């Protein structure tokens, strides 16, 4: 068994930023040959982002090959069309209609390659909003995620490009489903994934809650917690830890192991519902018991007892996380300055193996000549394309 089940699958990626490249990353990590098309002359603009976007390209570009094309030139467009004609999958996240103007829309590509899976990653699926410009933060705000994340009256985006990543993941799911259908029919198809619709999927639990109870859910910061203990607590060394107590057995363990026998004997705390209703008076007592321990001591005790817990971590702490490091959860890639760093692998295992790195993050056009040769261009043709700057490396 292999952690590269998509080996032999050919993918052409016309994508930038996070959503589209995430689809390509998933397919590439699973073994597909993903050729990333970057615009001439300097490659994908995502490479040059700063601030909170500085890591986007590095995180989504391992296991891909880079080809730099000038799609406004006849030669560059010919290369793109040859790649698409031989591909199993094409991904794109251009604005609606942009590729159609180049003759690279779905209808044209499907006519040249009827088996092609053409994956469009957009802000919105077809409908009244489909021509709007969307960003991760835009759809978080309009889809309810920002409302549910922030305090009341203070909508707050989630602390990651979660919808871009989720929308890209759904794009990969759609591609894999279309490939399975192609095995039966021999035909490709257009598949689409939408950012706004991805937020709506995340909001389904809150929508269902509202429909069942008739009460609009409050933001998570002010939610009516379902469990007796489901909170962040201070520790003796001025750190923080989350602890949950969500079963009758866990409640008994909590009371026995932390000197809270009085709570265990309290006749008004017999059921989960009673304990949840009593949170205002029980939580200060529980917090005081926890505050006697350091974060490390409390984590060790909770792990031994089987209580759900989580020290409050910062992203930079994941570089040294013992579980990620020991389990193959971090894979080494190069940063723009040449240093190596471990970034998260796909969060899956297949036959006991984690998908790894076959190709490092490519420099712009690193694989242009190799791909042109594979497409059957001769040396003279390749030299002419380089001379005209239709292709670059």
Angle between helices 162-185 and 19-29 (to 10 degrees): 50
Helix (H) or strand (E) holding 333: strand 330-334
Structure tokens at 46: 């995502």
**Catalytic-labelled residue, pool 29, 70, 88, 164:** 164
Angle among Cα 349, 58, 102 to the nearest 5 degrees reads 105
Nearest to 81 by CA among 108, 54, 45: 108
360 catalytically annotated: no
Cα–Cα distance measured from residue 130 to residue 63, given in angstroms and rounded to the nearest whole number: 32
Cα–Cα distance measured from residue 328 to residue 15, given in angstroms and rounded to the nearest whole number: 28
Cα–Cα distance measured from residue 226 to residue 208, given in angstroms and rounded to the nearest whole number: 15
Cα–Cα distance measured from residue 250 to residue 240, given in angstroms and rounded to the nearest whole number: 20
| DSSP 8-state code for residue 123 | S
CB 358 within 8 A of CB 34: no
CB 25 within 8 A of CB 61: yes
Active-site residue list: 164
């Amino acid at each position: 068994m292999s952690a590269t089940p998509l080996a032999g699958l050919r993918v052409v990626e016309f994508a930038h930023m996070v959503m589209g490249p995430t689809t390509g990353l998933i397919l590439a990590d699973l073994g597909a040959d993903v050729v990333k098309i970057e615009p001439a002359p300097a490659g994908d603009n995502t490479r040059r982002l700063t601030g909170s976007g500085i890591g986007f390209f590095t995180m989504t570009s391992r296991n891909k090959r880079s080809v730099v094309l000038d799609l406004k030139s006849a030669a560059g467009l010919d290369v793109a069309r040859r790649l698409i004609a031989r591909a199993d999958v094409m991904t794109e996240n251009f604005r609606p209609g942009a590729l159609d103007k180049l003759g690279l829309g779905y209808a044209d590509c499907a006519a040249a390659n009827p088996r092609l899976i053409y994956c469009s990653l957009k802000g919105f699926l077809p409908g009244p909003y489909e021509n709007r410009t969307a960003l991760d933060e835009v759809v978080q705000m309009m889809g309810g995620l920002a409302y549910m994340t922030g305090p009341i009256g203070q909508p707050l985006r989630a602390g990651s490009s979660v919808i871009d990543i989720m929308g890209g993941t759904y794009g990969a799911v759609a591609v894999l489903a279309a490939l399975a259908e192609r095995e039966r029919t021999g035909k490709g198809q257009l598949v689409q994934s939408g950012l706004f619709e991805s937020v709506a999927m995340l909001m389904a639990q809150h929508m269902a809650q509202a429909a069942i109870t008739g009460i609009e859910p409050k933001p998570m910061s002010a939610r009516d917690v379902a469990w007796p203990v489901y909170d962040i607590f201070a520790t003796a060394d001025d750190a923080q830890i989350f602890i949950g107590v969500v079963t009758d057995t866990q409640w008994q363990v909590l009371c026995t192991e932390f000197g809270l026998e009085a709570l265990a004997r309290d006749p008004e705390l017999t059921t989960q519902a009673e304990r949840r209703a009593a949170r205002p008076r029980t939580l200060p007592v529980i917090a005081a018991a926890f505050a006697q321990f350091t974060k490390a001591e409390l984590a060790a005790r909770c792990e031994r007892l089987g209580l759900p817990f989580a020290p409050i971590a910062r992203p930079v702490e994941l570089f040294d996380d013992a579980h990620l490091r020991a389990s193959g959860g971090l894979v080494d890639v190069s940063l723009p300055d040449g240093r190596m760093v471990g970034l998260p692998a796909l969060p899956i295992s297949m036959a006991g193996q984690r998908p790894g790195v076959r190709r490092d993050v490519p420099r712009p056009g690193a694989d242009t000549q190799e791909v042109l040769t594979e497409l059957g261009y001769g040396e003279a043709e390749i030299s002419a394309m380089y001379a005209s700057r239709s292709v670059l490396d």
